[in-house]
Amino acid sequence: MGVDKYEDREVGGSMDEITEIWGKCRPSLQESVSDVVWKTCLSLVTPVKISGDNLTLGVPSPYVRSKVAERFLGLVRDAASGAAGRPLDISLVIVAGEEPTFDDVFPVSDGPTPAPSVTDQRPSSIPATPAAAQNPDGIRLDPRFTFETFVSAQSNRMALAAAQTVAESPGRSYNPLFIYGGSGLGKTHLLHAIGNWMVQTRPSSRVLYVTTETFFNDFVESIRLKTQLALKRNYRECDVLLVDDIQFIQNKDALQEELFHTYNTLHSAGKQIVLTSDRPPKSIEKLEDRLRSRLLSGLVAEIEAPDLETRMAILRAKAQFERIDLPDDVSDFIATNVRDNIRELEGALTRVAAFASLTGEPISLSLAVQVLPDIGSEPALITPDMILLAVADTYGLTVDELVGPRRARPLVTARHVAMYLIRSLTDYSYPSIGKVFGGRDHSTVISAVDKISAQMGEKRQLYEQVTSLIHQIKGGG
């Protein structure tokens, strides 16, 4: 993505082509985001020119540019590529115009709040800002995942304390830091919290967060394009390297070799390395001994499944953040029946709150029992393919249409529902879900999941469709 400033508008390429592409983009983008985001951000984007496979878009101010670049660039790229029928790169330029004020609309990421001195305060309550500039070649850090929003408990206290220490003094203690535990317990949250803290307190630092899948794809692409030197520079010249789901490196000998040398370069330069996995280094099969020894040379911290009190605290924290009036008996009911996965725990709360909003009823234990008949049942193995087939059948579509580039309104809704269900019912990360849907950017998936979560409390038909699909996929009907 390029960012420049235009004082005068310059329209290049075919005027008919750019008009047609953007004419298709606008309604699909409006359908994909909330009314507030549309009115205060994406509706202000205008086409400037198209040159080959690069579409230049104009924004009226640096503020709007940062919002589009940090939160919606992947969504815009997907919509434009679908409208054009070919992959497009997006460049943003500032066109002449008055800068609108949206401070009350987007309270997060309006700019860094002055950070307290790390010598005076542990990294626990600092608000984070999106890290697009500091994480240019990896996955964008999620500003919602901070130390403040992480619920501390006995089951994760060691991992949290280690992550805070690393954020406070990178490269000095616990290098590398290896965090492991089951899916949905907060490992990714801690990685993002470290990155967001670093971006906030050390803006000049280069923080690189990637999943192992992204690392692998970058590695393969560098071989194909003969850009291995650029790959090495990207991964070995950062100040903090955060790698998620390192267990997927097993059986990939060449990638293990690359990570080994990346580790040695960063560690010898005093740079911080943090990795997560669903298992400890000793249990990762077919891992080179020399790499395993490196992973074991720092601190290995486990996140265990939360106990009942912790699960209730997590529910209360989410309810407070979402402004949900959650009675204690409902919190106890959900926390008692969902034991091993925080993502499922929060999903159950979302379903209850959405039904209460639709019916106008207060949240109560009887309502929760009605909405969650499948809670506590033994989970079956659910795959994205199962979800895609169920959603396609429900909406009268094909799987190819769901994962393809077309953006007709009913198709977009079905695609968003499928993304929401894969996120809720499987262990897939946002980038992995994007890959299921033809390589879409992870920010597109985040927008889809957030939108469906919100609309379930506003649209009865959508709520019933999603609930029915959950029961069907889980084998409950």
Residue 7 has pLDDT above 70, yes or no: no
Look up residue 248 and give its two tokens.
């997927």
Which is higher by pLDDT, 378 or 343?
343
Structural domain 157-303, CATH architecture? 3-Layer(aba) Sandwich (3.40)
Residue-level pLDDT at 417: 94
- Of 3-17, 38-52, 141-155, 226-240, the one with minimum mean pLDDT is 3-17
Q: Does the structure show a pLDDT above 60 at 58?
A: yes
Residues 6+ apart with CB under 8 A from 38: 29, 30
Which tokens sit at 37? 């985001």
**Once rounded to an integer, what is the mean pLDDT over residues 31-47?**
76
> b or e along 261-293 (b: 16 or more beta carbons within 10 Å of the residue's beta carbon)?
ebbeebbeeebbbbbbbbebbeebeebeeebee
Angle at 54 between CA 48 and CA 57, to 5 degrees: 30
The Cα 194–Cα 274 span in angstroms is 9
CA distance 129 to 126: 10
User: What is the C-alpha to C-alpha distance for residues 366 and 362, in angstroms, rounded to an integer?
Assistant: 10
pLDDT of the residue at 139: 66
DSSP string computed for 172-213: TSSSSEEEEESTTSSHHHHHHHHHHHHHHH-TTS-EEEEEHH
| CATH fold group of domain 308-371 | Helicase, Ruva Protein; domain 3 (1.10.8)
Cis ω on the peptide bond leading into residue 107 (within 30° of 0)? no
Report d(CA 66, CA 48) in Å as an integer.
18
Range scoring the smallest mean pLDDT among 16-20, 104-108, 149-153, 389-393: 104-108
Tokens of 262: 């990346």
Are 284 and 246 in contact by the 8 Å Cβ rule? The answer is: yes
Backbone CA torsion sign across 453, 456, 459, 463 = positive
Q: In this predicted structure, what is the pLDDT of residue 39? A: 73
Return the higher-pLDDT residue of 242 and 221. Answer: 242
Report domain extents, the chain.
3-94, 157-303, 308-371, 384-474
Share of the chain above pLDDT 90, in %: 29
pTM for this one?
A: 0.58
Indicate the range of 58-67, 154-163, 454-463, 464-473 predicted with least confidence.
Answer: 58-67
Distance of CA 180 to the CA centre of its chain: 19
Give the model's pLDDT for residue 14: 66
Is the confidence at residue 107, as pLDDT, over 80? no
- Find the range with the poorest average confidence among 203-207, 291-295, 341-345: 341-345
Class of domain 3-94: alpha beta
* Per-residue pLDDT, 36: 58
Neighbouring residues of 358: CB distance < 8 A, sequence distance ≥ 6: 456, 457, 458, 459, 460, 463
Cα 269 to the center of its chain, rounded Å: 30
Question: Is residue 75 predicted with pLDDT exceeding 90?
Answer: no
For residue 37, the model assigns a pLDDT of: 67
**What average pLDDT does the segment 157-183 reach?**
90
Q: Which of 67-71, 308-312, 345-349, 441-445 has the lowest mean pLDDT?
A: 67-71
Domain covering 384-474: architecture: Orthogonal Bundle (1.10)
Read off the DSSP letter of residue 364.
-
* Average confidence (pLDDT) over 317-327: 88
What's the pLDDT tens digit per position in 373-388?
877 665 567 889 999 9
Structure token digits, residue 216:
């692998």
How would residue 63 be classed by pLDDT, with cut points 50, 70 and 90? low
| The predicted structure's pLDDT at residue 17 | 81
